[in-house]
Structure 1
Amino acid sequence: MFFASCSRLVASRTAIPFASYRWRLRSNRAYSSASPTYSYILTSSPKPGVGLITLNRPKAFNALSSALFKELNDALSKYDEDRDIGSIVITGGEKAFAAGADIKEMAPLTFSSAYSTNFIAPWSHLAKEIRKPVIAAVAGYALGGGCELALMCDIIYCTANATFGQPEIKLGVIPGAGGSQRLTRAVGKSRTMELILTGKNFSGKEAGEWGVASKVIDGGKDELLEAAIQTAETIASYSRVAVIAAKEVVNKSQELSLREGVDFERRLFHGLFGSKDQKIGMSAFAEKQQPQWKNE
């Protein structure tokens, strides 16, 4: 979960500020005319239809906190509502996507304070509320809550030397932001048991082999981000209506039986015949033209 403290888990290493990377955010516009100023994240639109969110606590290895998630949820919601945005990328830095959470915030909590305030419930906003596809571009550490944040995304791209893990057991706790559930669905019960009960990490290469990540990049952060943004741009080039429906039916496969899932898929399939984009897409195909989507 989030308890994988950067200071604890990377204690044996000297704290090194994020290396500056060559990638430049070729932002054509701010994502809204009233774009807020954030303290813990950066936002831009590097390609048409793509919203980019960069976690930005480099000195803390992007340690996750309630304040950071408040900003992240705000940016995600604004991108989700923006008709010019079709897909979203979340990334971190060269050394860490998010190496854990802010232990200083959590250490003083008691059961009653955590329970009564429903602590970390807002961390699930991405998985529960965001309808547009979200790609995680993971380099460096993605531990505890960082791993869980990546698992909440629809697609994970990572570098081969990225480091994933759910090491909460080392701190006397367990994953609490969905890690035990989503990781089990990705890699199976036995492997998840081993990872969570031992606190062992796994590499980006292993993430690709096990099906956690859909693409593993042999290069560095630049190449990773370029690949993620390119995929996001491709997704954003399609009908927003169809893309949202496609995300919904795939997610339902994780919750419904096969029969229920197929029935649900068919209902959404039938429903898309009431959209303008279905008529546009099929007419363009028949006429060998590029569709000009209305996103309606």
Structure 2
Amino acid sequence: MSHPYSHISGSWVKVTSPRPHVALVELSRDPVNAFHEPFWTELGHVFDKIAEEPTIRAVVLASANSKLFSAGIDIGSLSGTLASESSPDPSRRALQLQGHIASFQASISALERCRYPVIVATHGVAYGLSIDIIAACDVRYAASSTSFAVKEVDVGLAADIGTLARLPKITGNQSLASELAFTARPFDASEALTLGLVSRVVNGGRDEVVKAALETATLIAEKSPIAVLGTKKLLLHARDHSVAENLDYTAVWNSAMLQTQDIPSAVVAFRKKQKPKFGPLGPKL
């Protein structure tokens, strides 16, 4: 069966459309979804392509593996990357590594850059790089079976792809976030809920949490795409700016967005007690 967004898929990142205007993105690299450079680069490219699709309104990110979300980075790949930075000069070697890290960060930040809300649905093991990925998503669900861990200190490095940048801002317990990052100890879905890393724990495994995420994505997809896009933009701006700065930014943003035809369409539908129908954002970007 052909899906409208299957052309976006890559070798390890598969894209389907199980609901109208909803893209389901699944990680699929056997045996444990461990990330090597081509995998994480592809993930970034897929989300950048999704952002160009005018008919998508919400995205669910999950694993195609029934047992786990991801074991994190492919340790063999990490060792190979460090060995490949071959300049004998420490400064030049540092610049090479800096470029590599920045490119890696940009790939994972594509989830945050995506103009549509991204809902991640985790289950089983979600270690290391999984936390960087989860933290870049807008809405985060976990199956009750999920085991998380910020594993980087166990392999001799500080997490550098987004966990330490985002975790203190998206969670409500600085002490617990620090403890988990310092110790690399596993924590379960209930503790992730306490931390604020996830907003919902779904009893069961992959199928149950993906179903819950798709239901939320379907609800979002029924809303005005202009309103949802703007809401994501303004929420991300608010996270990194003062209240006053965000209010100014919002005033400028909405001075343009309030001119949308989605507002009168929504008002008419409300008066008629009907669900409003909204058009796509426009031609493919």
Q: TM-score, normalised by structure 2?
A: 0.86
**1:152-171 counterparts in 2 under 5 A?**
152-171=136-155
**1:65-84 counterparts in 2 under 5 A?**
65-84=36-55
Matched, 1:52 2:27: no
1:29 Cα deviation (Å)? 2.2
Give the aligned partner of residue 90 of structure 2: none
The secondary structure found in structure 1 opposite 2:69 is: strand
**1:169-180 counterparts in 2 under 5 A?**
169-180=153-164
Amino acid aligned to 2:55: D
**1:24-173 counterparts in 2 under 5 A?**
29-31=3-5, 35=7, 38-59=10-31, 61-92=32-63, 93-108=65-80, 109=82, 110=85, 111-112=93-94, 113-117=96-100, 118-173=102-157
Whole-Å separation in 1 of the counterparts to 2:8 and 2:145: 34
Give the aligned partner of residue 263 of structure 1: 248
Structure 2 contact 44–108 (Cα < 8 Å) conserved: no
1:135-168 superposed Cα distances (whole Å, 9 cap, x missing partner) = 1110011111111101101111111221112121
Whole-Å separation in 2 of the counterparts to 1:37 and 1:248: 25
The secondary structure found in structure 1 opposite 2:51 is: helix
1:119 Cα deviation (Å)? 4.7
Amino acid aligned to 1:141: V
Distance 1:263 1:36, change over 3 A: closer
Amino acid aligned to 1:51: A
Structure 2 contact 55–280 (Cα < 8 Å) conserved: no
Distance 1:51 1:291, change over 3 A: same
Whole-Å separation in 2 of the counterparts to 1:187 and 1:170: 24
Q: 2:235 aligns with which of 246, 250, 260?
A: 250
Structure 1 contact 96–142 (Cα < 8 Å) conserved: yes
What are the ranges of 5 or more consecutive residues in structure 2 without an aligned counterpart? 86-92
Distance 1:218 1:128, change over 3 A: closer
Whole-Å separation in 2 of the counterparts to 1:285 and 1:55: 39
Q: Which moved more, 1:177-186 or 1:146-155?
A: 177-186
Give the aligned partner of residue 257 of structure 2: 272
Whole-Å separation in 1 of the counterparts to 2:246 and 2:57: 25
1:56 Cα deviation (Å)? 0.5
Distance 1:116 1:223, change over 3 A: closer
Structure 1 contact 69–122 (Cα < 8 Å) conserved: no
Amino acid aligned to 1:63: A
Whole-Å separation in 2 of the counterparts to 1:83 and 1:49: 9
Structure 2 contact 142–200 (Cα < 8 Å) conserved: yes
Amino acid aligned to 1:94: S
Whole-Å separation in 2 of the counterparts to 1:85 and 1:150: 20
The root-mean-square deviation of aligned C-alpha atoms, in Å, is 2.0
Structure 1 contact 28–45 (Cα < 8 Å) conserved: no
**1:183-194 counterparts in 2 under 5 A?**
183-185=167-169, 186-194=171-179
Structure 1 contact 64–146 (Cα < 8 Å) conserved: no
Whole-Å separation in 2 of the counterparts to 1:51 and 1:158: 19
Percent identity between the aligned chains? 28
Give the aligned partner of residue 89 of structure 2: none
Q: TM-score, normalised by structure 1?
A: 0.83
1:295 Cα deviation (Å)? 4.2
Distance 1:225 1:245, change over 3 A: same
More helix by percentage:
2
1:102-124 superposed Cα distances (whole Å, 9 cap, x missing partner) = 11121131453422444513323
